[in-house]
Amino acid sequence: MSGSTDHAVLDEYEAGELSVLYDAEPAQEVVAWALDRFHPRMAISEGGGAEGMAILDMAVRIEPNVRVFTIDTGRLPQETYDLIERVQQRYAIRVEVLFPEKAHIEGMMKRHGPNLMYDAVDLRLLCCQVRKVLPLVRYLEDLDAWVTGLRREQWASRAEIRKIELDHDHGGIVKVNPLADWTKREVWEYIRANDVPYHALYDQGYTSIGCAPCTRPIQQGEPDRAGRWWWEKDAPKECGIHCAIYTGGFEHELHALLNQNGNGNGNGNGVVRIPEAPNGNGNGNGHGHGGGGPA
The residues annotated with a catalytic role in the active site are 239
Closest CA to 83 of 43, 56, 101: 56
Closest to 60 in 3D by CA, of 197, 187, 201: 197
Query: Which conformational region is residue 65 in: left (phi greater than 0), alpha (psi within -120 to 50 degrees), or beta?
Result: alpha
Give the long-range contacts of residues 164-169, CB within 8 A, separation 24 or more: 164/10, 164/15, 164/18, 164/19, 164/22, 164/30, 164/33, 164/34, 165/15, 165/19, 166/10, 166/12, 166/15, 167/140, 167/290, 167/291, 168/288, 168/290, 169/243, 169/244, 169/288, 169/290, 169/291
The answer to whether the beta carbons of residues 54 and 187 sit under 8 Å apart is: yes
Q: Are 269 and 225 in contact (CB under 8 A)?
A: no
